Amino acid sequence: MANFVENVGKATLKRLDYLGGLTIGTWDTFRALGTTLPTGNRYRWKASIVQMLQIGVDAIPMVGLMAMCCGFILAMQGASELRRYGALSLVIDLVAVGFTREIGPLLTAIAVSGRSGSAFSAEIGTMVVTQETDTLEVMAFDPIEFVVAPKLLAALITVPCLTVVCNVCGIFAGWIFMFFSTHLGLKLYFHDVMETLVLRDVVSGLVKSLAFAVIIVLVGCMEGFRVQGGPEAVGQATTTAVVRSTFLVIVADMIFTAIFYFTGKH
Protein backbone atom coordinates (compact mmCIF):
# COMPACT_ATOMS: atom_id res chain seq x y z
CA MET A 1 0.00 0.00 0.00
CA ALA A 2 2.81 2.38 0.98
CA ASN A 3 4.53 1.51 -2.28
CA PHE A 4 1.37 2.35 -4.25
CA VAL A 5 0.98 5.72 -2.50
CA GLU A 6 4.68 6.43 -3.10
CA ASN A 7 4.34 5.66 -6.81
CA VAL A 8 1.23 7.84 -7.15
CA GLY A 9 3.03 10.65 -5.33
CA LYS A 10 6.08 10.33 -7.55
CA ALA A 11 3.99 10.32 -10.74
CA THR A 12 2.01 13.35 -9.54
CA LEU A 13 5.16 15.30 -8.69
CA LYS A 14 6.65 14.39 -12.08
CA ARG A 15 3.61 15.73 -13.91
CA LEU A 16 3.46 18.87 -11.77
CA ASP A 17 7.16 19.42 -12.47
CA TYR A 18 6.44 19.06 -16.20
CA LEU A 19 3.49 21.47 -16.08
CA GLY A 20 5.51 23.95 -14.02
CA GLY A 21 8.39 23.78 -16.50
CA LEU A 22 5.99 24.25 -19.40
CA THR A 23 4.37 27.28 -17.74
CA ILE A 24 7.73 28.92 -16.98
CA GLY A 25 8.93 28.12 -20.50
CA THR A 26 5.78 29.68 -21.98
CA TRP A 27 6.19 32.83 -19.89
CA ASP A 28 9.89 33.19 -20.76
CA THR A 29 9.25 32.62 -24.46
CA PHE A 30 6.44 35.17 -24.67
CA ARG A 31 8.67 37.67 -22.83
CA ALA A 32 11.40 37.08 -25.41
CA LEU A 33 8.99 37.28 -28.36
CA GLY A 34 9.58 41.03 -28.78
CA THR A 35 13.20 40.45 -29.80
CA THR A 36 12.10 38.33 -32.76
CA LEU A 37 10.04 41.12 -34.34
CA PRO A 38 11.52 43.27 -37.12
CA THR A 39 11.81 46.07 -34.54
CA GLY A 40 13.79 43.82 -32.16
CA ASN A 41 17.00 41.92 -32.87
CA ARG A 42 17.54 41.56 -36.65
CA TYR A 43 19.30 38.20 -36.24
CA ARG A 44 16.29 36.77 -34.41
CA TRP A 45 13.97 38.17 -37.10
CA LYS A 46 16.11 36.47 -39.76
CA ALA A 47 15.96 33.22 -37.78
CA SER A 48 12.17 33.62 -37.55
CA ILE A 49 11.89 33.95 -41.33
CA VAL A 50 13.95 30.78 -41.81
CA GLN A 51 11.63 29.03 -39.37
CA MET A 52 8.55 30.36 -41.20
CA LEU A 53 9.83 28.76 -44.39
CA GLN A 54 10.51 25.47 -42.64
CA ILE A 55 7.31 25.29 -40.57
CA GLY A 56 4.97 26.91 -43.07
CA VAL A 57 6.04 26.95 -46.72
CA ASP A 58 7.67 23.51 -46.70
CA ALA A 59 4.56 21.99 -45.11
CA ILE A 60 2.06 23.32 -47.71
CA PRO A 61 2.19 20.28 -50.04
CA MET A 62 1.77 17.83 -47.16
CA VAL A 63 -1.04 19.77 -45.46
CA GLY A 64 -2.76 20.39 -48.79
CA LEU A 65 -2.71 16.73 -49.76
CA MET A 66 -3.88 15.58 -46.32
CA ALA A 67 -6.71 18.13 -46.44
CA MET A 68 -7.79 16.99 -49.92
CA CYS A 69 -7.91 13.37 -48.76
CA CYS A 70 -9.83 14.22 -45.59
CA GLY A 71 -12.21 16.52 -47.46
CA PHE A 72 -12.99 13.75 -49.91
CA ILE A 73 -13.41 11.19 -47.13
CA LEU A 74 -15.71 13.50 -45.16
CA ALA A 75 -17.82 14.23 -48.24
CA MET A 76 -18.15 10.54 -49.13
CA GLN A 77 -18.97 9.45 -45.59
CA GLY A 78 -21.47 12.28 -45.18
CA ALA A 79 -23.08 11.62 -48.55
CA SER A 80 -23.63 7.94 -47.87
CA GLU A 81 -25.89 8.83 -44.93
CA LEU A 82 -27.40 12.12 -46.14
CA ARG A 83 -28.36 10.61 -49.52
CA ARG A 84 -30.87 8.34 -47.73
CA TYR A 85 -32.75 11.41 -46.49
CA GLY A 86 -32.50 13.21 -49.82
CA ALA A 87 -30.21 15.81 -48.26
CA LEU A 88 -27.11 15.38 -50.40
CA SER A 89 -26.74 19.15 -50.64
CA LEU A 90 -25.99 19.21 -46.90
CA VAL A 91 -22.62 17.64 -47.71
CA ILE A 92 -21.50 21.17 -48.62
CA ASP A 93 -22.45 22.43 -45.15
CA LEU A 94 -20.83 19.43 -43.52
CA VAL A 95 -17.50 19.87 -45.30
CA ALA A 96 -17.42 23.67 -45.05
CA VAL A 97 -18.35 23.92 -41.37
CA GLY A 98 -16.45 20.76 -40.41
CA PHE A 99 -13.24 22.00 -41.94
CA THR A 100 -13.28 25.63 -40.84
CA ARG A 101 -14.31 24.90 -37.26
CA GLU A 102 -12.61 21.59 -36.55
CA ILE A 103 -10.81 19.46 -39.09
CA GLY A 104 -8.71 22.24 -40.65
CA PRO A 105 -7.04 23.43 -37.41
CA LEU A 106 -6.70 19.90 -36.01
CA LEU A 107 -5.29 18.35 -39.18
CA THR A 108 -2.82 21.21 -39.56
CA ALA A 109 -1.73 20.89 -35.94
CA ILE A 110 -1.16 17.14 -36.32
CA ALA A 111 0.87 17.69 -39.49
CA VAL A 112 2.95 20.49 -37.91
CA SER A 113 3.44 18.48 -34.74
CA GLY A 114 4.75 15.50 -36.70
CA ARG A 115 6.93 17.56 -39.02
CA SER A 116 8.18 20.47 -36.93
CA GLY A 117 7.48 19.54 -33.28
CA SER A 118 9.70 16.48 -33.64
CA ALA A 119 12.34 18.54 -35.46
CA PHE A 120 12.37 21.13 -32.64
CA SER A 121 12.97 18.51 -29.95
CA ALA A 122 15.64 16.75 -32.03
CA GLU A 123 17.43 20.03 -32.79
CA ILE A 124 17.41 21.30 -29.22
CA GLY A 125 18.10 17.85 -27.75
CA THR A 126 21.20 17.57 -29.93
CA MET A 127 22.26 21.06 -28.87
CA VAL A 128 21.95 20.01 -25.22
CA VAL A 129 23.95 16.80 -25.77
CA THR A 130 26.72 18.62 -27.65
CA GLN A 131 26.83 21.42 -25.01
CA GLU A 132 25.72 24.05 -27.56
CA THR A 133 23.08 25.34 -25.14
CA ASP A 134 25.72 25.67 -22.39
CA THR A 135 27.89 27.54 -24.87
CA LEU A 136 25.03 29.92 -25.66
CA GLU A 137 24.56 30.66 -21.96
CA VAL A 138 28.26 31.20 -21.40
CA MET A 139 28.36 33.53 -24.41
CA ALA A 140 25.71 35.62 -22.60
CA PHE A 141 22.85 34.55 -24.87
CA ASP A 142 19.50 33.42 -23.56
CA PRO A 143 18.78 29.99 -25.15
CA ILE A 144 15.03 30.67 -24.96
CA GLU A 145 15.40 33.93 -26.86
CA PHE A 146 17.97 32.48 -29.25
CA VAL A 147 16.33 29.16 -30.08
CA VAL A 148 12.68 29.05 -28.97
CA ALA A 149 11.32 32.56 -29.55
CA PRO A 150 11.95 32.61 -33.35
CA LYS A 151 10.20 29.25 -33.64
CA LEU A 152 7.19 30.51 -31.67
CA LEU A 153 6.83 33.66 -33.75
CA ALA A 154 7.14 31.63 -36.95
CA ALA A 155 4.53 29.12 -35.76
CA LEU A 156 2.13 31.87 -34.62
CA ILE A 157 2.21 33.29 -38.15
CA THR A 158 2.41 30.16 -40.26
CA VAL A 159 0.09 27.72 -38.47
CA PRO A 160 -3.04 29.90 -38.98
CA CYS A 161 -1.97 30.42 -42.61
CA LEU A 162 -1.54 26.66 -43.04
CA THR A 163 -4.97 26.20 -41.45
CA VAL A 164 -6.49 28.46 -44.12
CA VAL A 165 -4.71 26.43 -46.82
CA CYS A 166 -6.02 23.25 -45.21
CA ASN A 167 -9.58 24.62 -45.10
CA VAL A 168 -9.49 25.69 -48.75
CA CYS A 169 -8.06 22.35 -49.91
CA GLY A 170 -10.53 20.33 -47.83
CA ILE A 171 -13.50 22.34 -49.08
CA PHE A 172 -12.20 22.07 -52.65
CA ALA A 173 -12.05 18.28 -52.26
CA GLY A 174 -15.69 18.43 -51.20
CA TRP A 175 -16.48 20.13 -54.53
CA ILE A 176 -14.66 17.37 -56.47
CA PHE A 177 -16.93 14.83 -54.82
CA MET A 178 -20.03 16.93 -55.48
CA PHE A 179 -19.01 17.44 -59.10
CA PHE A 180 -18.74 13.70 -59.70
CA SER A 181 -21.95 12.99 -57.76
CA THR A 182 -24.23 15.79 -58.94
CA HIS A 183 -22.24 17.71 -61.62
CA LEU A 184 -22.34 20.76 -59.35
CA GLY A 185 -20.37 23.70 -60.77
CA LEU A 186 -17.47 25.20 -58.84
CA LYS A 187 -19.02 28.68 -58.70
CA LEU A 188 -22.30 27.44 -57.33
CA TYR A 189 -20.52 25.18 -54.85
CA PHE A 190 -18.46 28.04 -53.43
CA HIS A 191 -21.54 30.25 -53.39
CA ASP A 192 -23.20 27.63 -51.16
CA VAL A 193 -20.08 27.41 -49.00
CA MET A 194 -20.08 31.18 -48.47
CA GLU A 195 -23.80 31.05 -47.64
CA THR A 196 -23.15 28.35 -45.04
CA LEU A 197 -20.15 29.81 -43.31
CA VAL A 198 -20.25 32.67 -40.84
CA LEU A 199 -17.27 34.70 -39.67
CA ARG A 200 -17.44 33.04 -36.26
CA ASP A 201 -16.65 29.63 -37.83
CA VAL A 202 -13.49 30.90 -39.44
CA VAL A 203 -12.37 32.92 -36.42
CA SER A 204 -12.93 30.05 -33.99
CA GLY A 205 -10.78 27.81 -36.19
CA LEU A 206 -8.01 30.38 -36.38
CA VAL A 207 -8.07 31.00 -32.61
CA LYS A 208 -7.67 27.26 -32.11
CA SER A 209 -4.78 27.14 -34.56
CA LEU A 210 -2.96 29.87 -32.59
CA ALA A 211 -3.30 27.85 -29.39
CA PHE A 212 -2.13 24.69 -31.18
CA ALA A 213 0.93 26.54 -32.51
CA VAL A 214 1.91 27.56 -28.96
CA ILE A 215 1.46 23.98 -27.69
CA ILE A 216 3.48 22.38 -30.51
CA VAL A 217 6.42 24.78 -30.21
CA LEU A 218 6.66 24.81 -26.44
CA VAL A 219 6.19 21.08 -25.92
CA GLY A 220 8.65 20.26 -28.73
CA CYS A 221 11.29 22.69 -27.44
CA MET A 222 10.81 21.73 -23.80
CA GLU A 223 11.27 18.03 -24.56
CA GLY A 224 14.52 19.01 -26.27
CA PHE A 225 15.75 20.98 -23.26
CA ARG A 226 14.92 18.07 -20.95
CA VAL A 227 17.22 15.65 -22.80
CA GLN A 228 19.72 13.99 -20.50
CA GLY A 229 22.27 11.51 -21.78
CA GLY A 230 23.24 10.65 -25.32
CA PRO A 231 21.73 10.29 -28.80
CA GLU A 232 19.24 7.67 -27.58
CA ALA A 233 17.67 10.29 -25.29
CA VAL A 234 17.26 12.62 -28.27
CA GLY A 235 15.27 9.93 -30.09
CA GLN A 236 13.07 9.39 -27.04
CA ALA A 237 12.52 13.14 -26.69
CA THR A 238 11.40 13.34 -30.31
CA THR A 239 8.81 10.62 -29.83
CA THR A 240 7.62 12.13 -26.54
CA ALA A 241 7.33 15.57 -28.13
CA VAL A 242 5.01 14.32 -30.88
CA VAL A 243 2.90 12.18 -28.54
CA ARG A 244 2.52 14.88 -25.86
CA SER A 245 1.89 17.76 -28.25
CA THR A 246 -0.73 15.75 -30.20
CA PHE A 247 -2.43 14.78 -26.93
CA LEU A 248 -2.40 18.35 -25.61
CA VAL A 249 -3.64 19.70 -28.96
CA ILE A 250 -6.66 17.39 -28.78
CA VAL A 251 -7.34 18.35 -25.14
CA ALA A 252 -7.06 22.05 -26.03
CA ASP A 253 -9.34 21.49 -29.02
CA MET A 254 -12.00 20.00 -26.75
CA ILE A 255 -11.73 22.93 -24.32
CA PHE A 256 -11.96 25.54 -27.10
CA THR A 257 -14.85 23.73 -28.78
CA ALA A 258 -16.70 23.63 -25.44
CA ILE A 259 -16.06 27.37 -24.92
CA PHE A 260 -17.29 28.25 -28.42
CA TYR A 261 -20.28 25.92 -28.06
CA PHE A 262 -21.46 27.33 -24.74
CA THR A 263 -20.80 30.97 -25.68
CA GLY A 264 -22.40 30.67 -29.13
CA LYS A 265 -26.01 31.13 -30.26
CA HIS A 266 -28.02 27.93 -30.68
Partner 1 sequence: MPIISVRDLVVEYGGRRVLNGLSLDIEPGEIMVLLGGSGAGKTTLMRHLLGLERPQSGSVIIKGVDITTCTPAELKRVRRSMGVSFQDAALFNSLTIEDNVALALREHTSLAPATIQLDVWMKLAALGLADCGKLYPQELSGGMRKRASVARAGALDPEILVFDEPSAGLDPPVAAGLDELILLMKQAFQMTIVVVTHELASAFTIADRIAMLYQGTFLAVGTKEEIRASQNPHIRQFLDRVPDNVTDAHVIETYFENYVRGPEVKR
Distance CA 199, CA 217 (A): 27
The answer to whether the beta carbons of residues 121 and 221 sit under 8 Å apart is yes
Closest C-alpha among 98, 67, 95 to residue 165: 67
Which x/- pattern, by CB under 8 A, does the window 137-176 give for partner 1? xxxxx-----------------------------------
Residues 17-76 that bind partner 1 (CB under 8 A): 41, 43
Q: How far is the CB of 32 from partner 1 (least distance, A)?
A: 12
Cα-based angle 217, 218, 219 (whole degrees, multiple of 5): 95
Task: Check residue 131 for interaction with partner 1 (CB under 8 A).
Answer: yes
With CB under 8 A as the contact rule, the residue among 132, 190, 198, 236 that binds partner 1 is 132
Distance CA 241, CA 215 (A): 10
Nearer to partner 1, 43 or 261 (CB): 43
Report how far Cα 245 is from the mean position of its chain's Cα atoms: 8
Nearer to partner 1, 31 or 83 (CB): 31
Q: How far is the CB of 50 from partner 1 (least distance, A)?
A: 10
Radius of gyration of the chain from Cα atoms? 21
Closest C-alpha among 207, 157, 143 to residue 52: 157
DSSP state of 175: H
Q: How far is the CB of 162 from partner 1 (least distance, A)?
A: 24
Contact region for partner 1 (CB under 8 A) — 81-89, 128-136, 205-213, 223-231? 128-136
Q: Which residues bind partner 1 (CB under 8 A)?
A: 41, 43, 126, 130-132, 134-135, 137-141
